[in-house]
Structure 1
Amino acid sequence: MQIVGVTTQHEVFVASKTHKFRMNEIFVIEDEQLNEPKGEVVETFSYNRYIPMGFDKGLVDSQVLKTLEQIGYDIGADDIHLAKVRLFEEATQPLQTGAHVRHPAFDEIAPLLVKSTPQAGMIVGEIKATDFIAKTVPSHLQGLFHIQDTEDVRLQQGVPFIFDIRAMQQYPHIGVFGGSGSGKSFGLRVMLEELMKLRIPTLVFDPHFEMNFEATADGVGDVPSYQDHYTVVQIGRDVGVDFSALSTRDVERLLSAAGSLTESMINVIQSIHKRRDSYQSFSDRVANVAEALELGKQKIDAMVHDGGMSREDIQRYGTFKKLLDQFGSLPLASIKGIQWRANRLHHAGLFQQNIRAIEQGIHGGQLVVVQGAVWLLQVFSSYVIGALYGKRRAYKDAKLQQQQGEFFPPFVIVTDEAHNFAPKGYDSPAKSVLKEIAQEGRKYGAFLILATQRPTLLDETITAQLNSKFVFRTVRGTDIQTIKEETDLTNEEGKRLPYLRSGDVFVSSAIMGRTMAVRIRLAHSTSPHTLNPFDELLQMNNQGDDDVLSAIEPFLPLAEMSLMNYLTDINKGAKKSWDIQTWKKELERLCEKGKLKKQKTPFATLYDRS
């Protein structure tokens, strides 16, 4: 392998007769004057005598062809393999044409590839095209995980990609971008497993009900159990909002998530809400004000002065009169709007619990998965993130002022569909607190891992603060453009984004100092949604057939004319409520599938076991 063609301080062309170059392959260029610079393949090309010559553009130009001939290549007969190699560090002068090129030993490029140990970092996957140096990789970096290649599962062959999570203190926050089916959710699952391994407190918002780590993946051998490392809670069932702890501003935020608020509605909340209000006292006050306004001052005065009422009614109408005096200027429509929004959140179970279970999990170093509908997660996340971040910030501020504060651990916030929580162009309940953490969180030990299919729709302030970005297959041009603006992906890498295999990812990280191509390792656990929906349909159809066959089994052989006699018993056994005609169609269908056989006699049509 030799350098050919015109060279620059940052790019060279390498040629070989025997070696077929691979993308992201790493080479050492034996130019001693420049201290043997290193680089990786960013573009490859191969041609032979069957391909017409006349290349004057692109990778192979006349200068490259001329150099190939000068160093002994037979352009007309040889198979020639070429690669464009980009140097990791810009050279002080152009490299020597004709210099030999070789694969490095691991020790020569270890600082470029590995920034942490397997025990202290997140083992995310395998750096692509590093199997050439596998023999020189130290034993403590070998055999750490399995990789899924096409249909086969294999043991790690190259250098492991270990994300140095401790460096997030300097380069905080991670973005995970990729379209549907790109492996984005799978990559996120691997990251969560690694966070659990490191016992880092993590809060996960799971709108798809898939972040469960109980089921073990196939083909990975003996894997660690995460049973005691995570807890799953659902909004309304296990966790919720302690309404009495909310400020008036918090109430505004929560109710705006149930439906946008007008200025008039905000004025209603500010007027009616009182400090330390429970949900019941607040909702009762809103309902009473609405009823008082509907009755009107004249009717209430008349009822108060009516002597025929019970003591309870007198007290009730007296309360209406006081509320009318106090809140009579508020518009009824706005009060009704607040009442509807509060009822919607209450019926979703938001105000029936507190966040104690989440706080206990974070204190215990667990990964806490919060599940719920997307709109409900948006509401709840604004409250719970604000509460936890406030506790962590209060502890750090007290420590800086040399005061005694209650310890609250640093933690990581993870969410899928992040563009729903912090959208670009308009406000959402959790957007302000996520922006604050994106900008200031590293000082207090709060970090973000945000995954989304649409990085273009994510708030730009937050996107700019994501110092590490995991970019999976992305097809939309606007998203690719956003990714290229926010990372150091080259034009060649940008062109490859729509064609990446599921599970392949470009990692653009300030921690590594460059973009790396990585194959995500096989997760130890599996999502509950891994069953193909068409297999599920087939499975349910077969189960339905089995249920029907089991119900008619005692009556076989079954004459068509006898269906009426046994209809009640058959329906009971099959848990159906079908009529005679429906059962006849079902028996015919089972005969077509070969699960029953049909026999016609002079006296009747019989259905029997096949």
Structure 2
Amino acid sequence: MSIGTVISGVSSPSPSKILFVLNGNGSVHKGQFVELDYEEGRLAAMVTDVVKTNRYFERADSVKEIESKIGAMEKHFPVAEWEYAVAEAKTLGVIAKDGIIRRPTFAVSPGTKVRVASKETLQKFLGFVEGGLFLGRVEFHDVDVKLDINRLLQKHLAILAMSGAGKTVTAKTLIEELLERKKEQGRIAVIVLDVHGEYTSFAHPPKDESARDYSQKTKLINALEMKIGVSKISARMFSEMLPGLSNAQKRDLEKVINKLQKEMREGSGPFDLKMVKNEVLNDKDIKEATKRILASWLSGLEELNLFAKVDYPNLYDVIKPGMLTVLDMSGIINMKKKQIIVNYLAQRLFAERRKKLLPPFLLILEEAHQFVPEHKSREESICKGIIQTIAREGRKFGAALCLISQRPIRLDTTVLSQCNTQIIMRITNPYDLKHIGESAEGIDNKSLEMLTSLRVGEALIVGEAVNYPVFIKVRKNYSQASKHEKTLAEAAKEFEENAEREKNEISSFL
């Protein structure tokens, strides 16, 4: 059904833009898709602006004078008959009669009728697939957003938004879709580096009967209980954890590590930091000043209570196809400790995947700007190097990244540019918007401006996963809500209720 007619403007219609006037029954929204007949097939366009006008209200001085004398104009004149709306739309592409999508190369004729884009047109044009990951619905259209897993994840994904805009809900939606996949569809392992404990709810049976239970598909690891096996740490990785060492000090430490690893291979068994430190202190070839420095650095690592002779947990026990592994780091405040954990885990995951000893995986990194910052060196950001490596080379080995950040401008440009799909939600900071505009391919200024007015749960998808940028409404989660998703008022109420309950229990006991 036609909603409007293409009209002539100063510079339209053209191959890149059309203007159309809405008919009496037509309505259209900014961001909505429309289609119209084209010589080669169907032309698809996205509405970028809608303007209403009325000749009775064109001159402010006349409106003021008339209404001051006779009252509201609509009571005396047929103003409704002279009101009309004109929409501007950016042409996106042509679905040719042979099914191939081509770019428009000539203008449509004025007078061409405009329709709301059909479900078939949108699915074909945007690149949605049956059996894809169902993330939500196209804004203003009853069309499911089902994305091809390879296009979405193989070249990495970034979810960017200000705090409270729906990043975690979007990430949970993605995780649910990956856990729902059948063996014959191809299942990957999912690992979440959970900074705030927002994904731990996956590991617990839901209290709400309407929520789906993913607890049997989830392994929850408390990062406070995690141990890194010192005997598996290379000399280079030690150097990354001790960035203040000189080259000479690194060489001495490397010699000690290599000696202990050689002895381990010969049957002496795994070793820990204490054994490394003792070996340093007993090595006659190392200068006394160097011994003191290395011993001090190693003591600092010991204080993190993170290292042991062997890894805990064993990666092979927790990384499985179709399974979710949540590393809960919410109990750790020390940023260096978190950096070391992320660095070691990412290094092991990538190394084992390259050897095909682990399944293809998606590594989800919350608060990514803390771990891969833009203006800090590798010495200051321990895990920056391995995340950059996975971003560059991961797609060759089935190692995918999903970076989640509320401050895109602080996120390393090299890594962000390797995320070929971006799901961008509400962002109001002008510096972040500028950074996104420079790093995201296919996003124009008008789409960028619309990001500031998005509501919670609304998002713009750009990049590899879709043929053209599309605004969507993210679906509701199937899983239960996190304990962190309470409102401020709900948290305050719960605190007082718990305090009162404890007081009553103490009184009854006494």
TM-score scaled by length of structure 1: 0.68
1:330 partnered with 2:314:
no
Identify which of structures 1 and 2 has the higher relative contact order when contacts are C-alpha pairs closer than 8 Å and 6+ apart: 2
Q: Which residue of 2 aligns with 1:419?
A: 369
> Aligned letter for 2:129?
S
Distance, in Å, in 2 between the alignment partners of 1:11 and 1:518 is 23
Aligned to 1:359: 316
Q: Give the greater-gyration-radius structure (CA).
A: 1
Q: Deviations over 1:273-321 (max 9, x none)?
A: 333278866424535866xxxxxxxxxxxxxxxxxxxxxxxxxxxxxxx
How far did residue 25 of structure 1 move? 1.7
* 1:4 lines up with 2:7 in the alignment: yes
Partners of 1:281 and 1:387 lie apart in 2 by 18
User: Are 1:514 and 2:468 counterparts?
Assistant: yes
- Contact 1:8/1:93 (CA < 8 Å) preserved in 2? yes
Q: 1:385 aligns with which of 346, 352, 357?
A: 346
Is residue 195 of structure 2 the alignment partner of residue 210 of structure 1?
no
Q: In structure 1, what is the Cα distance between the partners aligned to 2:358 and 2:163?
A: 37
Task: Provide the C-alpha distance between the structure 2 equivalents of 1:514 and 1:355, rounded to a whole number of angstroms.
Answer: 44
AA aligned opposite 1:39: A
Contact 1:255 1:341 in 2 (8 A): no
Q: Contact 2:206/2:212 (CA < 8 Å) preserved in 1? A: no
Cross-structure match for 1:139: none
Deviations along 1:17-43, one digit per CA (max 9) or x if unpaired, are 432321222222234x35341212111
Cα RMSD between the aligned structures?
Answer: 2.8
Measured against aligned partners, the alpha-carbon deviations of 1:157-184 in whole angstroms (never above 9, x if no partner) come to x111112113357x51001111111111
Question: Quick one: percent identity of the two aligned structures?
Answer: 20
Q: Deviations over 1:181-239 (max 9, x none)?
A: 11111111111111211242112111111112236597xx85532121111112342x3
Shift of 1:429: 2.2
| CA separation of 1:356 and 1:3: change in aligned 2, threshold 3 A | same
Counterpart of 2:133?
Answer: 122
Q: Alignment partner of 1:354: what SS?
A: coil
2:232 alignment partner, one of 242, 245, 256:
245
Q: How big is the shift at 1:533?
A: 3.3
The one-letter code sitting in structure 2 at the alignment partner of 1:536 is: A
CA distance in 2, matches of 1:415, 1:285: 31
- CA–CA distance in 2 between the matches of 1:370 and 1:501? 30
**TM, length-normalised to structure 2:** 0.81
- Match of 1:78, as an amino acid? W
Q: Answer whether contact 1:247 1:275 (CA < 8 A) is retained.
A: no
Residue 192 of structure 1: aligned partner: 175
What is the letter of the counterpart of residue 283 of structure 1? K
Residue 529 (1) aligns with residue 479 (2): no
Q: Does 2:445 align with 1:491? A: yes
Q: Is the 8 A contact 1:34 1:91 kept in 2?
A: no
Which residue number in structure 1 is paired with residue 105 of structure 2?
Answer: 92
Deviation at 1:469, TM superposition (A): 0.3
Contact 2:5 2:114 in 1 (8 A): yes
1:263 Cα deviation after fit: 4.6
Distance 1:85 1:253, change over 3 A: same
Select the residue among 149, 158, 167 that pairs with 2:151.
Answer: 167
Question: C-alpha distance in 2, partners of 1:535/1:353?
Answer: 43
- 1:216/1:524 contact within 8 Å kept: no
SS of residue matched to 1:412 = strand
Hey, what does 2:31 align to over in structure 1?
A: 24
The 1:91/1:2 distance shift into structure 2, 3 A limit, reads same
Distance 1:514 1:341, change over 3 A: same
CA distance in 2, matches of 1:353, 1:478: 45
- The residue number in structure 1 matching 2:68 is none
CA distance in 2, matches of 1:537, 1:222: 26
Aligned amino acid, residue 184 of structure 1: K
Distance, in Å, in 2 between the alignment partners of 1:369 and 1:549 is 37
> Measured at CA, do residues 262 and 498 of structure 1 come closer, stay the same or move farther in structure 2, by a change above 3 Å?
farther
Name the counterpart of 1:101: 114
Change (3 A) 1:517 1:76: same
The answer to whether the 8 A contact 1:9-1:95 is kept is yes
Cα offset for 1:268? 4.8
8 Å contact kept, 1:504–1:518 = yes
1:248–1:275 CA contact under 8 A, matched in 2: no
Number of residue pairs the alignment of both structures matches: 454
Amino acid at match of 1:537: A
Secondary structure of 1:47's counterpart equals strand
Q: Check conservation: 1:23, 1:129, Cα contact below 8 A.
A: no
Conservation of the 8 A alpha-carbon contact between 1:200 and 1:367: no
Q: SS state of the match for residue 124, structure 1?
A: strand
The residue that corresponds to 1:465 in the other structure is: 418
Structure 2 counterparts to residues 269-348 of structure 1, below 5 A: 269-273=253-257, 274-276=259-261, 282-284=273-275, 286=277, 323=282, 325-331=284-290, 333-345=292-304, 347=305
CA contact (8 A) 1:201 1:361 kept: no
2:504 and 2:395 mapped to 1: Cα distance? Answer: 63
Matches of 1:249 and 1:76, distance apart in 2: 75
Secondary structure of residue in 2 paired with 1:30: strand
| Structure 1 residue 368: Cα displacement | 0.8
The 1:183/1:353 distance shift into structure 2, 3 A limit, reads farther
- Give the counterpart letter for 2:253 in structure 1: I
Counterpart secondary structure, 2:130: coil
- 1:215 and 1:527 in contact (8 A); partners too: no
- Give 1:550 deviation, angstroms: 6.8
Query: 1:547-596: per-residue Cα shift (whole Å, max 9, x none)?
Result: 5567668xxxxxxxxxxxxxxxxxx74xxxxxxxxxxxxxxxxxxxxxxx
- Aligned 8 A contact 1:3 1:14 in 2: yes
CA contact (8 A) 1:21 1:82 kept: no
Give yes or no for the alignment of 1:410 onto 2:351: no
1:358 Cα deviation from its structure 2 partner: 3.1
Find the aligned partners of 2:430 and 2:314 in 1 and give their Cα distance: 43
Q: For the residues of structure 2 that align with 1:92 and 1:449, how far apart are their CA atoms?
A: 37
CA contact (8 A) 1:287 1:339 kept: no
CA distance in 2, matches of 1:355, 1:550: 39
Partner of 2:184: none
What SS does the corresponding residue of 1:419 show, helix, strand or coil? helix
* In the alignment, structure 1 residue 83 sits paired with structure 2 residue 87: yes
Against the structure 1 CA distance between its residues 112 and 545, is the aligned structure 2 distance closer, same or farther, given a 3 Å change threshold? same
* 2:14 alignment partner, SS class: coil
> Per-residue deviation at 1:9?
0.6
Q: For 1:38-66, what per-residue CA distance to the aligned partner results, in whole angstroms no more than 9, with x for missing partners? A: 21211122233564359xxxxxxxxxxxx
CA distance in 2, matches of 1:94, 1:335: 72
Match of 1:254 in 2: 241
Gap change, CA 1:441 and 1:79, over 3 Å in 2? same
